[in-house]
């Protein structure tokens, strides 16, 4: 374009220059010189056309190349996009497959747990802490469901009792033969027949007694270092448990007799050739608390009559230390009272 403009300008300047030259008065001499001037312009214009055409062709070729390059880049981007989409589709398919497999595994696990939960449990091992402790007793054995589901469980904190004239307890305990066993939970003494307790018009026969450390019962939030539970049963299989709390003090002769005859190994029964006087564990005062509760160990059977003597008995520090070596802790935690009536002697 620049060349074309330059050529046009040059031709125009030449034409103007020719027009300004002096001319003869005769017509022919004036007309004839003009022809060479026009001829001189035309030859100059024709050769200039080739560079202009070449210059015009160059941009057209560049635009065509640009369009080709753009098409190539678009095709490359589309190919790259399709590759990424295919990769994402593969990843999504793998993720769906993994999620389906995970859901199937989880469903299988839930089904297995449900099947296992539906099976009756017949475990027998329990303890006072850890995996087999009180919080899990009901999970160990189906027959122990009351340990968690019951609403009249023992022990409880004896507070806000109703003070009334309770019936006097009648004890008919005789020196008796016995055997004892360290059953893995406590020291238990099984007493021969013929020892009775009568209260509320019902007579109960002493079956066995055993020890807990610390004492399971609380009286207005206060407990004792140990307790002895004397388990009785009536002729129609009703259960009554007499609880005598133990504090440090003088040695107790009945407890000493039990300690003297401890078996050397757990789960081994010893039958001494002497007799045991259970009266030696009873306090002189016979006032008491009473309420309806349960056994304080599996199977946690409810509808048990509890009688907790108000006056504690004593055991020597040595007697308590001996038991603590065997069982530092074998007490069930206090259970909710759930609004149960508690009576106490005036």
Q: What is the pLDDT of residues 226-276, one digit of tens each?
A: 999 999 999 999 999 999 999 999 999 999 999 999 999 999 999 999 999
Q: Is residue 140 part of a domain?
A: no
Residue 270's DSSP bridge partners are 180
Average pLDDT over residues 329-343: 97
Secondary structure of residue 294 in the 3-state scheme: strand
pLDDT of residue 34: 46
Q: Would you state the pLDDT for residue 16?
A: 44
| The pLDDT of residue 109 | 85
Would residue 103 count as lying in a domain?
A: no
Token pair recorded at residue 191: 């007493």
Task: For residue 60, name the pLDDT band (cuts at 50, 70, 90).
Answer: low
Confidence (pLDDT) at 250: 98
Instruction: Please tell me whether residues 84 and 196 are part of one structural domain.
Output: no
302 occurs within a structural domain: yes
- 14: tokens are 């030449």
Segment (H or E) for 241: strand 239-248
Tell whether 127 is covered by a domain.
Answer: no
Domain's final residue, options 53, 80, 96? 96
Q: What is the pLDDT of residue 7?
A: 44
Residue 261 neighbours by CB distance under 10 Å: 18
Residue 156 shares a structural domain with residue 92: no
* pLDDT exceeds cutoff 60 at 21: no
Does the pLDDT value for residue 10 go beyond 90? no
What gap in Å lies between CA 35 and CA 44, rounded to an integer? Answer: 14
Question: Which range of residues forms the domain containing residue 61?
Answer: 2-14+36-96
Report the pLDDT value the prediction gives residue 78, as an integer from 0 to 100. 85
**Residue 145 within a domain:** no
26-35, 157-166, 187-196: which range is least confident on average?
26-35
Could you tell me if 196 and 341 lie in one domain?
yes
Q: For residue 152, which of 339, 19, 344 has the smallest C-alpha distance?
A: 339
| pTM of the predicted protein model | 0.68
| Phi, psi dihedrals of residue 146, rounded to the nearest 5° | -60, -20
Q: How sure is the predictor about 112, in pLDDT bands with cuts at 50, 70 and 90?
A: confident
Does 135 map to a domain?
no
CA angle 130, 135, 138 (to 5 degrees): 115
Question: The CATH number of the domain where 167 resides is what?
Answer: 3.10.200.10
**Whether residue 50 has pLDDT greater than 70:** no
pLDDT for 40 equals 45
Contacting residues for 337 by C-beta, under 8 A, at least 6 apart = 156, 157
Residues 194 and 321 in one domain: yes
Q: Are residues 68 and 170 part of one domain?
A: no
On whether both 299 and 172 belong to a single domain, the answer is yes
331 and 200 both lie in a single domain: yes
Average pLDDT over residues 319-325: 98
Residues 67 and 175 in one domain: no
Total domains present in the chain: 2
Nearest to 302, CA basis, from 241, 217, 218, 243: 241
How confident is the model at residue 75, as a pLDDT?
85
Let me know whether 162 and 45 are in one domain.
Answer: no
Per-residue confidence band for 225, with pLDDT thresholds at 50, 70 and 90: very high
Position 107 in a domain: no
- The answer as to whether 111 is a domain residue is no
Is 68 in the same domain as 159? Answer: no
**159 and 267: one domain?**
yes
């Amino acid at each position: 374009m620049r060349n074309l403009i330059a050529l046009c300008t040059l031709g125009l300047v030449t034409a103007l220059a020719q027009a300004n030259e002096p001319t003869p008065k005769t017509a022919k001499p004036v007309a004839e010189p003009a022809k060479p001037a026009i001829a001189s312009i035309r030859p100059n214009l024709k050769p200039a056309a080739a560079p202009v055409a070449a210059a015009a062709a160059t941009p057209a070729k560049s635009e065509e190349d640009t369009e080709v390059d753009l098409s190539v880049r678009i095709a490359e981007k589309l190919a790259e996009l399709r590759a990424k989409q295919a990769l994402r589709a593969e990843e999504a398919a793998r993720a769906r497959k993994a999620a389906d497999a995970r859901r199937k595994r989880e469903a299988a696990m839930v089904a297995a747990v449900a099947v296992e939960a539906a099976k009756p449990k017949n475990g027998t091992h329990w303890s006072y802490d850890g995996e087999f402790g009180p919080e899990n007793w009901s999970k160990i054995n189906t027959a122990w469901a009351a340990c968690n589901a019951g609403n009249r469980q023992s022990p409880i904190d004896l507070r806000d009792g109703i003070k009334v004239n309770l019936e006097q307890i009648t004890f008919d305990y005789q020196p008796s033969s016995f055997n004892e066993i360290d059953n893995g939970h406590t020291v238990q003494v099984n007493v021969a027949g013929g020892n009775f307790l009568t209260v509320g018009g019902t007579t109960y026969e002493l079956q066995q007694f055993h020890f807990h450390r610390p004492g399971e019962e609380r009286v207005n939030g206060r407990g004792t270092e140990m307790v002895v539970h004397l388990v009785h049963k009536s002729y129609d299989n009703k259960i009554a448990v007499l609880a005598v709390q133990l504090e440090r003090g003088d040695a107790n002769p009945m407890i000493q007799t039990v300690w003297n005859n401890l078996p050397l190994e757990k789960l081994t029964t010893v039958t001494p050739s002497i007799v045991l006087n259970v009266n030696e564990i009873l306090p002189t005062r016979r006032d008491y608390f009473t309420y309806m509760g349960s056994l304080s160990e599996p199977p946690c059977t409810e509808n048990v009559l509890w009688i907790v003597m108000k006056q504690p008995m004593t055991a020597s520090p040595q007697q308590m230390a001996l038991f603590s070596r065997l069982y530092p802790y074998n007490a069930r935690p206090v259970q909710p009272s759930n609004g149960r009536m508690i009576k106490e002697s005036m």
